[in-house]
Amino acid sequence: ITLVFILYNAANYSSISFHGTYQINELGFSLKLISFIAITGSVSRILFSRFWGKYADKRSFSNMIEKCFIVLGIGYLCYVFATPKTGIYAVIGYTLLHGIAMGGINSALTNLVFDYVTPDKRSDSLAICQAASGVVGFVSTLLVSPLVSYIQNSSNTFLGIPIYAQQVLSILSCILTVVAIIYVRTVLIKKR
């Protein structure tokens, strides 16, 4: 379970930490637009929270988090296509999908501990999961920061198309999310 927490936070903090500056600087979004997009993400999260809860009641939190990670991974893929020309659509797509996924991820992470850990060890397990994944999330941000600086200072292109650091980070986050999906599928769901 701790590995699920770690993979999720590593994926999340590897890219989300840099989205704000990208939206303001490279994509040229106004603060009003950024706020509006954030609100749409919150609304999508609210609308899907009950759906995910019902899904978990029928299928299990392991199955739910797998589906939430799939939605989150697709969201990261949307962000890969965020350029100054397509940014508004890609960022809205990402934000909506991220909100939908988050409608289940937070409750699933906590409830996985309750599903797999004996009652006398749950609070300790939850604390270890939160602490370890928090440290990994912070370290992930630190580790990708030099990559962001390098890409931003290099004016990188691929097949003549400008490549932005946040697109590369979104690919990295998507890969980490796929690893989390595989882990949940092969370890947690099979064990269940």
Predicted confidence (pLDDT) per residue in 83-119, tens digit: 999 999 999 999 999 999 999 998 999 899 888 888 9
Q: Is 70 exceeded by the pLDDT of residue 60?
A: yes
Predicted confidence (pLDDT) per residue in 111-128, tens digit: 998 888 889 999 999 999
> What are the CA-CA distances from residue 90 to residues 16, 18, 22, 36, 59 (Å)?
14, 15, 13, 14, 31
Judged on CB neighbours under 10 Å (0-12, 13-18, 19+), 125 is middle
Predicted confidence (pLDDT) per residue in 149-163, tens digit: 888 888 777 667 788
Q: Residue 7 and residue 23: Cα distance in Å, rounded?
A: 25
The predicted model gives 13-25 an average pLDDT of 91
Q: Residue 192 — very low, low, confident or very high, per pLDDT cuts 50/70/90?
A: low
The residue assigned the tokens 């300790």 is 124
Give the H/E segment covering residue 162: strand 161-162
pTM exceeds 0.75: yes
